Chain A
């Protein structure tokens, strides 16, 4: 199954919802669909207004509009070896699973990967990641519950350097964006990376759960303002949630969406393409 087929499969429910609306010019129905996709009142109103003014094919118009909003240029960065990828997000968004999938993704793209478990808070978080590492057959830096997460990261970079790894993937503890002290802890981790690597981490991915509502906007805002995340990965897109929150997030913060998680298997992570995403929503 190619990537586009997989995406289409995952977005089946979303597409079914969208399909009916363009046969009529019923903008009220369109409003309902945009709202029920978590796109939010502000952006929905704006899109509806623009649709009203547009006299041509409204479906094509909206498609283009959404592709435009989602097309935030994303360029992979590289500062110094090993490339460091930090994965952050609120509790239960799917960080650990995503780290496992990312490790697999980089590995099949011919990178030598090492994983570090810097979630020293949740019970059995390290063990969970260890099982993923075994599955993918990658090395892992383990941690103890209650240990200083920045110290774990320090060790992880050192051993990645020593072993000349291409990529170091760091899983962090789930934290609500409203917990100032936990955001400070992340900053400390980043300071340690800066110090030992002499550069910023190449990527800081914020994991967002596709079922999240308008709260996703606050999550993106706080993590962007406080730790300057470089991109978003959206998870759990295989349910009935439409992940529409991506649209206001991209619109408001110009943050690129990098990957989509759409299943529980190791290879259920695909690079995000705005065209494919919108196409998968709108087309049979």
Chain B
């Protein structure tokens, strides 16, 4: 599953990881390659366009532009965008303990009948009833009947038309306490007005809990037409993508959500009765990128971003540009991490350790800085007596507390200046 697309993504990632900087040229090269790759994987060309625009914005962010090793950041952004395209969170069918109706529809040959049997097996504890609702294809009813026998679930064969079939089936289900009724409808083209009208009428009469579109995983650009038309004419609550066990490129998975907004719920991954898998966007995305380790990478990248921020702050500090806003940020980090002593030992400036903090003090300091205006935080020198009074009042502290904080801060700034001068000397 997704092996071909993953192979190409792995090659592309190797290239991306080699970039020292991400200038305009690297960004457009990367985007161009992703475009071809996605188109070759049958992702709809319009969806590809939107995907690239969104990704480009992310790649042009300051975080990536200023990073010294942008490769991993790019891969993480790419991963996040793919997860977004696939629908973020997995969607489960919310079946009640009483009575549920699922209706399967789609084009000819997408795998509706096989999927109906797989669903019956998957929800076997609901005592499913399989209903053949395809009076058109020769022996379609018989095919489902044989599958029902194999799964050992109840079955209703097709009658002269689908409405009669449904009536018989629903009466049977009520008497027989089937909690789940599965309708396997005839394959139909989404442009066949008559059959679409019939399906709509069926939906309105039967009111299934879920109307599920079954799509062949090997489908090309037509995937979006199918999803769009079925959604507009019938309304779809979810999608099942079949035949994902071959070398299907998976373009349908990536396009359908974007055009229909309907979530993908299952994928079919083989011919056996239990070859039906819940659809997890995050797992599928890491599969598409060929990275089983994506979670680790995200953690690594995120901690590296923190590290980079720290390094930037240290530089700022050493240049004497450190202000109370930075101070506040540091306090927040310290609070988040808990152990103050540990943080102090991590500080790059040994002299800072002489400043005496305790945990309660941090909360107080934070309150004081939060009561300052932006201007005061950036340029603490302007804080005169009346400002101090206001700040003390706003933060529930005393002027003495404000003075102490400012003294500590100026002391730190002095230290920083000292460092700066020292560096000049050497």
| Residues of A bordering B, CB below 8 Å | 13, 32, 35-38, 40-41, 90-94, 121-125, 127-132, 145, 176-179, 209-216, 218, 236, 238-242, 244-245, 264
Contacts and interface: CB of A to CB of B under 8 A. Distances in A.
A65 to B, nearest CB: 20
A176 B219 contact: no
Interface stretch (B33-41, B122-130, B398-406): B33-41
A210 B225 CA distance: 13
B263 interface: no
A127 B138 contact: yes
Interface residues of B, number: 43
Nearest to A209: B109
Interface stretch (B11-19, B141-149, B349-357): B141-149
B360 interface: no
A216 B145 CA distance: 31
Contacts of A123: 142-143, 146-147
Contact of B243 (A36, A91, A127, A145): A91
B249 interface: yes
Contact of A178 (B110, B139, B223, B247): B247
Given A127-B138, A218-B247, A240 B225 contact: yes
A194 B368 CA distance: 92
Given A36-B45, A124-B145, A215-B218, 8 more contacts: A94-B109, A124-B142, A125-B143, A127-B138, A211-B226, A213-B219, A213-B251, A214-B249
B220 A241 contact: yes
A131 B221 CA distance: 33
Secondary structure class of chain B's binding surface, majority of residues = loop
A241 B107 CA distance: 11
A179 B271 CA distance: 11
Interface string B7-46: 0000000000000000000000000000010011110110
A215 B249 contact: yes
A92 B143 contact: no
B222 interface: yes
A92 B243 contact: yes
B221 A236 contact: no
12 contacts: A36-B221, A90-B243, A121-B271, A124-B140, A124-B146, A128-B139, A128-B140, A211-B107, A211-B223, A212-B219, A213-B221, A214-B251
Nearest to B49: A32
B246 A209 contact: no
B108 interface: yes
Interface string B132-164: 000011111011011100000000000000000
Contacts of B108: 92, 94, 236, 264
B162 to A, nearest CB: 16
B143 A128 contact: yes
A177 B222 CA distance: 21
A215 B190 contact: no
